Structure 1
Amino acid sequence: MTDQTWNALLRDQLAWHWTTQLRERIDGLTDDEYFWEPAPGCWSVRPRGSGAAPVQAGCGTMTIDFAMPQPDPPPFTTIAWRLGHVIVGVLAVRNAAHFGRAPTDYQSFEYATTAAAALAQLDAEYATWLAGVESLGEAGLARSCGEAEGPYAGRPLAALVLHINRELIHHLAEVCLLRDLYQHTHEETRREAN
């Protein structure tokens, strides 16, 4: 039996997926893939003023589409939207609440104008999250989440770490699948580029 701590195991779970299954698969993401709308009425990240969603949030030249409450069924979302959700809603908001990042939310975030910029934002937030989890040690994982996590305030931070691991693995796998779909439905464009 190895001398692993729960903190290391939780970090390793995410880091393994990030390194072996997720990050390399989205490396080199193009702007065409990033903004591609595979179905009518997609939610995406768009130039300010060009969206049709009830809410278009963001502080820069780009906004992210959403609505509260969410429509039933919810609109299909682009790679840009899914990355925006992961970068802001999954990581940046939690990094701000727990690990000293400047406060942010969907409304105040400056969304990337390119796929490369979005991947840089993703890498930065992921690195902050992973370092933050490591800084918790074993005792920090048992500490309660606090007010930032609303109805889950009394749950241990370990539960939040598990939730974030699931969210990252789930949503980034969706991004990989959408990228595969784009590449298989745009085969001729890919051949022309080579």
Structure 2
Amino acid sequence: MEIAGVRTDRLGLLLDQHDKARDMAEVRLLGLGDEEYLWEPVPGCWSIRRRDEAATPRAFGPGEWVLDLGVPDIPASEYAEIARQAASGMTVDKIADDWSVSVERVEEVLAHTGPPEPDEAPITTIAWRLGHLHFGFAGQWEWTFGARRQEPKLLVDFTPSAAEAVERFWAVMDRWRDSVAAMTEEQLDTVGFSQYPYGSDPDEPFISVLWGANLEFIHHMAEIALLRDLWRARFTAPK
């Protein structure tokens, strides 16, 4: 349905949300330089690094540069998601496999009562956040619209060049957007239309996967925008 030229159907609303977020993100990424892209504002950041300098146990990538990744766990911010998965009928074994953690860890989360302890998540660089988004959308496209064969962790050749990273990322996002825009209502409602292996995509109707992808794009781009603000202010902050 359209009202005054604006789509109000489910797909139209999500595409419009994506496009508005894209417009804002493009402005916020203008002029990103290599030093800022790789800036580590505090010790212990996750970033992209040369393979022989990787600082985390599961850093990955097909080329010389890899994306930091630590030991798998279930963050406190996802405890509600674990409860939702269990309530939907997923077994503890399946949830553990989904999150790459032990059955004991899932049982611990499900048994938790009261407010969870705050997560001690690492600070990540602009390079990491952009690489994380690139990897995620490239993998979801491959396992939704592509051949569904390629290992997602081998799809993105991470680069220390900010300009190159931004150009490659927008190419992936354009491909994703074009494919999503051509979907039918039946496809949007199909459980498992996406078979992306990292996450719950195979167990959800694609419309749920799609709003989740928008959320991922928006919140990581907001983080990148904040890091750019901090970079700009780093020499002007009071001592």
Match of 2:10 in 1: 6
Does the Cα contact within 8 Å between 2:139 and 2:155 map onto a contact in 1?
no
1:49 counterpart SS class: helix
Percent pairwise identity: 35
Asked if residue 168 in structure 1 is aligned to residue 172 in structure 2, the reply is no
Q: Which of these residues, 176, 182, 194, is aligned with residue 135 of structure 1?
A: 182
Contact 1:145/1:160 (CA < 8 Å) preserved in 2? Answer: no
The amino acid that maps onto 1:27 is L
Structure 1 counterpart of 2:138: 92
**Secondary structure, aligned partner of 2:152:** coil
Counterpart CA distance in 2 for 1:148 and 1:107 is: 14
Q: Identify unmatched segments of 5+ residues in structure 2.
A: 76-118
Whether the 8 Å contact between 1:111 and 1:118 is mirrored in structure 2 is yes
Which of 126, 131, 135 is residue 79 of structure 1 equivalent to? 126
Q: As a proportion of its length, which structure holds more helix?
A: 1
Superposed CA offset, 1:130-158 (max 9, x none): 11111113222111234435544232111
Task: Pick the structure with greater CA Rg.
Answer: 2
Of 30, 34, 37, the residue aligned with 1:34 is 37
Helix, strand or coil at the partner of 1:175: helix
CA offset digits 1:61-112 (Å, max 9, x no partner): 10111112259622211000001110002x0110101122773422553112
Match in the other structure for 1:116: 163
| 1:79/1:178 contact within 8 Å kept | yes
Partner amino acid, structure 1, of 2:25 = L
Contact 2:135/2:155, CA 8 A, preserved across alignment: no
Change (3 A) 1:159 1:132: same
Q: How big is the shift at 1:113?
A: 2.5
CA contact (8 A) 1:44 1:77 kept: yes
Deviations 1:50-71 (A, max 9, x none): 1221122111110111112259
**Is the contact made by 2:192 and 2:205 (CA closer than 8 Å) also made in structure 1?**
yes
Instruction: Please give the per-residue CA displacement for 1:33-64, whole angstroms capped at 9, x wherever unaligned.
Output: 11000010101001221122112211111011
Equivalent of 2:150, from 103, 125, 129?
A: 103
| One-letter amino acid of the structure 2 residue matched with residue 172 of structure 1 | M
Query: What is the CA-CA distance between 1:121 and the residue it aligns to?
Result: 1.6
Name structure 1 gaps, 5 residues minimum. 188-194
- Write the distance in 1 (CA, Å) between the matches of 2:200 and 2:211: 17
Give me the whole-angstrom Cα distance separating, in 1, the residues matched to 2:62 and 2:201. Answer: 28
Q: Which residue of 1 aligns with 2:70?
A: 67
From 14, 20, 28, the counterpart of 1:16: 20
Count of residues in correspondence between the two structures: 186
Q: For the aligned residues, what is the CA RMSD? A: 2.2
Whether 1:44 and 2:47 are equivalent positions in the alignment is: yes
C-alpha distance in 1, partners of 2:140/2:155?
15
- How far apart are the structure 1 equivalents of 2:129 and 2:122? 12
Q: Aligned with 1:148: secondary structure?
A: coil
